[in-house]
Amino acid sequence: MILFAYVSYLIAEYIEISGLIVIFICGITMSHYALYNVTDECFDGSRIAVETCSMIAESFLYGYLGLTALSIKPEVVDMNFLWAVLGITTVARLVSVYSSMFLLWLINKCKT
């Protein structure tokens, strides 16, 4: 299953189309067709393998970002831009979370 996804990514890169979109479509297709054609042991093994790979990739990413953050020169960083991005991100997060919570509250209120 993992090899099928990797081969589709390689083919997408070879013909110069978006590899991320191809992986996404491959995942949707495989979840629709492959899920019903594998045994329970294969399904559990595939799930564990994918979770392990994702944890390794996430650990590598955060380690790399942490090490690269030490190499940034302070005189290059624009603090106004940094604070603006932090503020906009915080406001966007608050709006998305509280609007979702309000919609859920409204739906639950209408059901009762």
pLDDT band at 86 (very low <50, low <70, confident <90, very high): very high
The verdict on pTM exceeding 0.85 is: no
- Sorted by where each begins, the domain ranges of the chain are 74-112
Complete DSSP assignment for 21-69: HHHHHHHHHHHHHTGGGS-HHHHHHHHHHHHHHHHHHHHHHHHHHHHHH
What would the pLDDT profile of 37-80 be if each residue is shown by its tens digit?
888 898 888 889 889 999 999 999 999 998 888 888 888 888 89
What is the pLDDT at residue 75?
83
